[in-house]
Structure 1
Amino acid sequence: MKNKERLIWIFLVLVLLIITTASGLNNWIFAGDTERTYENLKLFNEIFNLLRTEYYDESKVEPDRLIKGAVDGMIESLEDPHTDYMSKEFFGELQTETRGEFGGVGIVIGVRDKWITVISPIADTPAARVGMKAGDKIIEIDGESTEGFTTTDAVNMIRGEVGTSLTLTVKREGVSQPLQFTITRGVIKLETVKSTIVDDHIGYFRISQFSEPTAEAFRVQIGDLKSQGMDSIILDLRNNPGGLLSSAIEIADMLLIDGNIVSIKGRNKSQSQVYKAHERTYIPDLPIIVLVNKGSASGSEILAGAIKDNKRGILVGETTFGKGSVQTVRELPDGSGIKITTALYYTPSGASIHEVGIEPDEVVKDVEVTQEEIDAIKKLEELGLIKTFVQEHESYTDTDFETLMNQLAQNSIEIKPIIVRRLIKNEQEADRMPDLIDLDYDVQLKHAVNMLKSVNRLLKTKVS
């Protein structure tokens, strides 16, 4: 999946290294292991030439193909799914993405247990709307197995022309059979911060990703909700895959009065740094609850860890993803790029959460959908029962809902009432922008709201 420019560039670099080494500048390039590196490069060159001149099938030993295999092997030997080469096209897309807009289906992916895995679906995108979830392992893309794929390989297949469709086959934990999702590609415009007032006084902020505009958008919306009487905050970082480290740190700095935000420790001293909060918090006295789940990764874990370890707020939900490494992106001369893991980050308590995650202070599980309920949802769609119900009821009473549940039972459809209510809401929102929150279905958010209600009642009692 890597392009021709990459192979030619790598080849030229290798040739240059050999020539330069032979020219007596070894100590400048390979300080500490000059002789060994030189011998290995000589070995590489010898094998390359032997394969080029003696292998029986000439079509398989073109320079581009051989060098591609060598580079792939070099990167794969690191056993780090976060270090990867990026073609010129993909590198350009990455730069666009950090600016807040890109083309695709709306999922952030990585490699976990050797399979392409959904780190998180991006809210209000085609992938989120069809029901893809964090943790889904993508085993096929348009019928082609993804076994052995790198993240770049998968992204190159998933992204495409707006309006075209692709089919993703996924294996979901707790579901016996693979699931298939046919998704129409679209332009993904990231409004990374959305907010609203809940229960007349609680400020709810959902941050879906950290891009260049995120911190400023958060700052503006904090001010807007403060002017509406906000007296406490719910910061929703669920399914937030991370993004720009600087953006996550800047938001943490807005919420903390003092203390460390994150420590980064790399191979070299120049790659190590401690980020501290400044005395400029926007909301020094407001209670904060942070919502997290297994789709909360990287930058969102930095922010959640800073709030937790500095005792600035309470984490509610499920254990986070556990991506505690820092990647540095370098642009190469031909416009392509390479993403290299250069450091690990540590929360203020000194803990590394890499491949471990952050445990919430209060564990609240999301609504579980069983294999039987997935089958029931498919049957509901085939019979059109939810669609008919919504057409007949612009709004519905408890009696209306009870009648619907009885109808489902008569059709041998067993499904939890809370899931049916969510399906009704999905149908109601089919032709409009979905509501930002759903306290009927979102048990984690509802738990956070109830906690803040209790805190605010307690504070008001103390004041009086």
Structure 2
Amino acid sequence: MAAVRDLSITVGLLVALAGAPALAQEREPAAPLPLNELRTFTEVLERIRTSYVEEVDDATLLENAIRGMLEGLDPHSAYLEPEAFQGLQDTTTGQFGGLGLEVGQEDGFIKVISPIDDTPASRAGIEPGDLIVKIDDHPVKGMSLMDAVDRMRGPAGSKITLTLVRGAGRPFDVELERAVIRVRSVRTDTLEPGYAYLRITQFQNNTGDEVRRSLATLKEQGELKGLIMDLRNNPGGVLQSAVEVADAFLSDGLIVYTKGRLPNSELRFNATAANPGGDLPLVVLINGGSASASEIVAGALQDRGRAVIMGTDSFGKGSVQTVLPLNNDRALKLTTALYYTPNGRSIQAQGIEPDIVVQRAQLTRDADEVSYREADLLGHLNNGNGDGQERPTVRTPATGANAERDADYQLNQALNLLKGLNITRRQ
């Protein structure tokens, strides 16, 4: 993913800067260069230099050729110019400019992978899977991903209009105001006494440490009976941070491994004995916006039987990108390996299938519902337990945090499952 300072979006998915294999010193024997294709290349270059309607300098033509080489490989490989290279580093530290979108390219359009929490994009209601078909009335069909990014750049406070298509619906416009995006990687909440919620927005350099600190804080607040880890709409991030998060709930064994063409691209990441999560009952929520590092965590915890995975199929981005610095503050973002779950499953274009499929939905309560019980009947017998408390006849709707939780059907179902897991553990 190429992110840029004051960038409208970050491109693709957050790249695995840490833990990704570097270029090996020992390379496969180079095949002979295809002379016919090289002759064609130089002929095309010369024709453009002499015949194109406007004069184009050689440096621009060569940079365009390099960019085309990378963009023709896969959606996640790219040639990063200085601004894009700097912006990419900004995203892994949690602060960058833009709208707060993670995007890729599909059928010539820009596809939203995930909006980032608490950003202009998420507040505007942009959803995973939305297609961006116009940027300020400029059609994106035929644009490269980086060209689209350039059009969406702009200073914080400036406005931009995106034309989106959702599903089979008609195009609609969304006006957004660019902002400096400060991403909070981890946040926690108490759903009910003993049951906690841990949301990971994206995997930054310090996410593993934040998760461990959050677990320690939750335990200090009282008995912890179960935890929901929410990875929905988490587009990924730093590979090493994903390993550290999974390690917080595993005491040993394999977490993830990578395989590529280079000898040192075959890496294995194992859990350590320091797991603050212990054997705490754990439910992990995923959806189509969960990608890359999110899928590593979900896949590891699923294969190791450490958590119940709930929600819908994840995105399926199972490749590792290595950032290779070049001269003049430029870099290559190159796909160098695929990663696999402990059981040998490749996530690439497959994703993680949840153990329990729960589609997105919303619960509504009937405010006029009246519930009667035996204790409400006039002259009912007492139970002999000394419980003389009167019970309310009308059950009032939930408010505040409980109402917000109940409105999130997947989260509500995860909490119910977590309670069930805790009950069976006590038996």
Q: TM over 0.5, yes or no? A: yes
Using the TM superposition, give the Cα deviation of residue 226 of structure 1 relative to its aligned residue in structure 2, in angstroms. 1.0
Equivalent residue letter for 2:30 = G
Residue of structure 1 equivalent to 2:367: 398
Equivalent residue letter for 2:144 = T
Residue of structure 2 equivalent to 1:391: none
1:239 aligns with 2:237: no
Cα–Cα, structure 1 residues 91 and 69, in superposed 2: closer, same or farther, change >3 Å?
closer
Residue of structure 2 equivalent to 1:75: 70
User: 1:152 & 1:47 partners in 2: Cα distance?
Assistant: 23
Residue of structure 2 equivalent to 1:189: 182
Residue of structure 1 equivalent to 2:17: none
Residue of structure 2 equivalent to 1:438: 404
Using the TM superposition, give the Cα deviation of residue 182 of structure 1 relative to its aligned residue in structure 2, in angstroms. 0.5
Residue of structure 2 equivalent to 1:378: none
User: 1:98 & 1:437 partners in 2: Cα distance?
Assistant: 34
User: 2:234 & 2:355 partners in 1: Cα distance?
Assistant: 19
1:289 aligns with 2:283: yes
Q: Give the fraction of aligned pairs with identical amino acids, expressed as a percent.
A: 41
Given that 1:202 and 1:230 are in contact with CA atoms closer than 8 Å, whether structure 2 keeps it comes out as: yes
Given that 1:234 and 1:290 are in contact with CA atoms closer than 8 Å, whether structure 2 keeps it comes out as: yes
Using the TM superposition, give the Cα deviation of residue 187 of structure 1 relative to its aligned residue in structure 2, in angstroms. 1.1
Using the TM superposition, give the Cα deviation of residue 46 of structure 1 relative to its aligned residue in structure 2, in angstroms. 4.2
User: 1:306 & 1:436 partners in 2: Cα distance?
Assistant: 31
Equivalent residue letter for 1:263 = Y
Q: CA RMSD in A?
A: 2.8
Given that 1:90 and 1:156 are in contact with CA atoms closer than 8 Å, whether structure 2 keeps it comes out as: no
Equivalent residue letter for 1:154 = A
Q: How many residues align?
A: 374
1:136-155 alignment runs, 5 A limit: 136-155=130-149
Equivalent residue letter for 2:404 = D
Q: SS in structure 2 opposite 1:291? A: strand
Equivalent residue letter for 2:68 = G
CA offset digits 1:367-410 (Å, max 9, x no partner): 28xxxxxxxxxxxxxxxxxxxxxxxxxxx99369xxxxxxxxxx
1:43-442 alignment runs, 5 A limit: 43-53=40-50, 55=51, 57=52, 59-78=54-73, 80-174=74-168, 176-228=169-221, 229-367=223-361, 398=367, 438-442=404-408
Say which structure is richer in helix: 1
Given that 1:242 and 1:297 are in contact with CA atoms closer than 8 Å, whether structure 2 keeps it comes out as: yes
Using the TM superposition, give the Cα deviation of residue 280 of structure 1 relative to its aligned residue in structure 2, in angstroms. 1.6
User: 1:51 & 1:160 partners in 2: Cα distance?
Assistant: 32
Q: SS in structure 2 opposite 1:66? A: helix
CA offset digits 1:212-270 (Å, max 9, x no partner): 12111111111000112222110000000001001101111111122211110011121
Cα–Cα, structure 1 residues 68 and 184, in superposed 2: closer, same or farther, change >3 Å?
same
| Greater RCO (Cα-Cα under 8 Å, separation 6 or more) | 2
Using the TM superposition, give the Cα deviation of residue 45 of structure 1 relative to its aligned residue in structure 2, in angstroms. 3.1
Cα–Cα, structure 1 residues 45 and 100, in superposed 2: closer, same or farther, change >3 Å?
same
Q: SS in structure 1 opposite 2:134? A: strand
User: 1:153 & 1:323 partners in 2: Cα distance?
Assistant: 23
Using the TM superposition, give the Cα deviation of residue 37 of structure 1 relative to its aligned residue in structure 2, in angstroms. 4.7
CA offset digits 1:399-457 (Å, max 9, x no partner): 69xxxxxxxxxxxxxxxxxxxx99x98xxxxxxxxx79921210000000011112222
Equivalent residue letter for 1:99 = T
User: 1:257 & 1:71 partners in 2: Cα distance?
Assistant: 45
Cα–Cα, structure 1 residues 70 and 30, in superposed 2: closer, same or farther, change >3 Å?
farther
Q: SS in structure 2 opposite 1:439? A: helix
User: 2:224 & 2:403 partners in 1: Cα distance?
Assistant: 17
TM-score for both structures, normalised by structure 2:
0.81
Residue of structure 1 equivalent to 2:8: none
Given that 1:86 and 1:152 are in contact with CA atoms closer than 8 Å, whether structure 2 keeps it comes out as: no
User: 1:437 & 1:102 partners in 2: Cα distance?
Assistant: 33
Given that 2:249 and 2:279 are in contact with CA atoms closer than 8 Å, whether structure 1 keeps it comes out as: no
Residue of structure 2 equivalent to 1:8: none
Using the TM superposition, give the Cα deviation of residue 148 of structure 1 relative to its aligned residue in structure 2, in angstroms. 3.0
Structure 2 counterpart of 1:32, from 30, 33, 36 = 30
Given that 1:305 and 1:347 are in contact with CA atoms closer than 8 Å, whether structure 2 keeps it comes out as: yes
Given that 1:75 and 1:83 are in contact with CA atoms closer than 8 Å, whether structure 2 keeps it comes out as: yes
